[in-house]
Structure 1
Amino acid sequence: MAMNNTYQKNRTWLIYANETICDHIKAFQEIGKISWSTHVKMQIGDVVYVYVGPTQRRIMFRTVVAEKGVKQRVDKDYWKENLDNKESYTLKLDATYQGSDELNEEQLCKHGFKGGRSLLTPNCNNVELLEYIQKWF
């Protein structure tokens, strides 16, 4: 069976950005994009919502996958710990959440957000949660 590496339709993802490792907030404010390394197969054009923790504990950004297979990180100056030099995706800022508490952890849990270890892997399968998030951007 032949593998098809292209998707008919772009997907929507939820990822966890750890503030203690990289200052993603400042990177978005100053350069409008971050690098993201992951084992999941994202495609150019996929929408990626960024949940920022551990202090913010809420979704703050909507991004779009702009590049894949990038060898040098665009956000290297914002890393606080050991720089991850893995091949990555470039996530370009599309929108910043402007509401108050609709996308905090407590509200997200009411719509299927699991938190905890589930944040370690980007998720595109929680339809209820992703539909809830989409309506606030």
Structure 2
Amino acid sequence: MSTPLYKKPLRFNRLMQGRDLEAHDIGASISQYLELLIFTRFGEHRYKPDFGCEIWELDFELIVSESTWEEKLRQSLLKSITTHEQRIYDVQLDVHIKEVSKFYPLRNVSEIKKRVEIVVKGKVHQTGENYVFSTALYLSPLST
């Protein structure tokens, strides 16, 4: 019998009602773990200082070359994923940065943000199925 993969956040009131915690499949579990890796800064996890990715250091870096910035982030994520997420293999990673602008007519303000799109592809060890995860982050809000 396999170990259940619990959905986060854990809803302990279900236990008080005599029901089991919500579980989900391995794909959703891997996706939650990848999000945690992406959103965690190096050194934030007390017992695993190498857990996380470099995006938080790169966020405030002046982007001279977008392709260099994308490659730095890609290498950081690839290293973290291959080190900490053992349930997938043949990991391929795409990172792309775009500028997104939005105008707010009521305030007469336009915002320009950097949007980083991250796509992770691989295969699940347990089943051999293809796995795809994608997310986007907004960085460096600029207002005019």
| TM-score tier (shorter) | under 0.3
State the TM-score, normalizing by the size of structure 1.
0.22
**More helix per residue: 1 or 2?**
2
Larger RCO: Structure 1 or Structure 2 (Cα < 8 Å, ≥ 6 residues apart)? 1
